[in-house]
Amino acid sequence: MIPSKNKICLVTGGAGFIGSHTCEALLSRGYHVRILDNLHPRIHPNGLPDWISSDIEFIKGDATQRLDLGSALQGVSYVFHLCAYQDYLPDFSTFFHTNVVSTALLYELIVEKDIPVQKVVVASSQAVYGEGTYQCPEHGKVFPELRPENRLEEGIWDPLCPDCDSAITWTLTDESRINPQNAYAISKYSQELTALRLGRRYEIPTTAYRYSIVQGPRQSLFNAYSGACRIFCLSALLGKSLSIYEDGAQVRDFINIEDVVSANLLALENQETNYRAYNVGGGKAHTILEFANIVAEVFTEEVQLEFTKKYRFGDTRHICSDISALKALGWNPGNSPKKSVIDYVKWLKEQAQVEDVLTTANENMKKLNVLRDTKST
């Protein structure tokens, strides 16, 4: 059943990447759209982005603050809770404060004020799976833990079977097994657990989406700690080589922002998604090296790849989501990583301000021992 479209849909983090595209889609479908966003200076140093339509109601505020979120929830029927803190830096409390506290407060206020919210869609992450699912010839399906530091220092990248130390092969990861390995991942699983359990307990229909690596226009130019598309494209635009960590053979799952938006709308308008977590991915595995070559192909200028012999501590080796559960409801991703890169590069070249944030990001990651050298470096 499609919900009434004369009611208010609140999008927390709505000025950001996924949020702003979702807002536009909601607006085009006739929803009254309201954004709550704190316009964090690291993501929005120039204030409210010019892509936010004047037809959208905007509230500057913080979803972790009772007064701000309470004000934004007035009269709301639907919520996309998309504000998040994602990083490679070891500021652990910030992950939980932003990602988990805001979610608990959201349900607290809905219950306390008896707000008749008909649906909440929460942005979780593929990161909750850690190293994901592998197949061992002897033990079948296995779930390795964080890769040992001593093997990474030697440039030995692939995990081993946790039961017999044999070589294992990665497989698609479905929604059944959670194994978060870093602060961000733990916070996202805590967030979705909070949302789904409180949602069911208080009969607030809720869906959690475990997004893979989302790509496309409007990824912030000012956060260079994560996002292969953003980092590689910024590097190429600034005339830098594309830095490849590990050996480039690590597998990732990329999804276009347009496909994420269509999944978001499905969750809003399909009650079969209630009280469940779903993978939202591109449906095809790519190595980082393959993706870097796509970026190099899109740029007309010559682009060099640099194998740095470095690694980021806490990175997953291989991960690709099984999206069959969401596809069974009629959703299907239709855009390739190359389209994502083309769209992002076009948008990137239209920006008046493109600064070299990469150097500072790399220096900070080295200083905090996030970016590490192998012994052969």
Percentage of the chain lying above the pLDDT 90 cut: 85
Report yes or no on 164 lying in a domain.
Answer: no
Q: How far is CA 254 from CA 100, 129, 224, 257, 316, in A?
A: 25, 16, 17, 10, 14
- Using alpha carbons only, what angle is made at residue 85 by residues 44 and 184, rounded to the nearest 5 degrees? 155
What's the rounded Cα separation, in Å, for the pair 351 and 257? 19
Specify the pLDDT at position 3.
53
Report yes or no on 155 lying in a domain.
Answer: no
Average pLDDT over residues 96-124: 98
State the CATH number of the domain containing residue 33.
Answer: 3.40.50.720
Report yes or no on 282 lying in a domain.
Answer: yes
State residue 355 phi and psi, 5-degree precision.
Answer: -100, 160
Specify the pLDDT at position 2.
56
pLDDT over 60 (residue 261): yes
Report yes or no on 139 lying in a domain.
Answer: no
What's the rounded Cα separation, in Å, for the pair 326 and 279? 7
Per-chain mean pLDDT for the chain = 95
Specify the pLDDT at position 123.
98
Q: Which residue has the higher pLDDT, 362 or 203?
A: 203
Q: How far is CA 360 from CA 16, 86, 95, 137, in A?
A: 22, 17, 21, 44
pLDDT over 90 (residue 5): no
Least confident of 193-202, 230-239, 320-329: 230-239
Cβ proximity of 114 and 199 under 8 Å: no
What's the rounded Cα separation, in Å, for the pair 188 and 99? 7
What's the rounded Cα separation, in Å, for the pair 22 and 261? 5
Report yes or no on 52 lying in a domain.
Answer: yes
pLDDT confidence tier of residue 87, bands split at 50, 70 and 90: confident
Q: Whose CA is closest to 17, among 88, 82, 63, 106?
A: 82
Report yes or no on 156 lying in a domain.
Answer: no
- 266 token code pair: 């499905």
Percentage of the chain lying above the pLDDT 70 cut: 98
Report yes or no on 330 lying in a domain.
Answer: yes
Specify the pLDDT at position 91.
87
Specify the pLDDT at position 224.
64
Report yes or no on 257 lying in a domain.
Answer: yes
Domain count within the chain: 1
For the segment 302-361, what is each residue's pLDDT rounded down to a tens digit? 999 999 999 998 899 999 999 999 999 999 999 999 999 999 999 999 987 788 888 888
Segments forming the whole domain that contains residue 89: 8-133+172-373
What's the rounded Cα separation, in Å, for the pair 254 and 47? 29
For the segment 33-77, what is each residue's pLDDT rounded down to a tens digit? 999 999 999 889 899 999 999 999 999 999 999 999 999 999 999
For the segment 127-183, what is each residue's pLDDT rounded down to a tens digit? 999 999 999 999 999 999 999 999 999 999 999 999 999 999 999 999 999 999 999
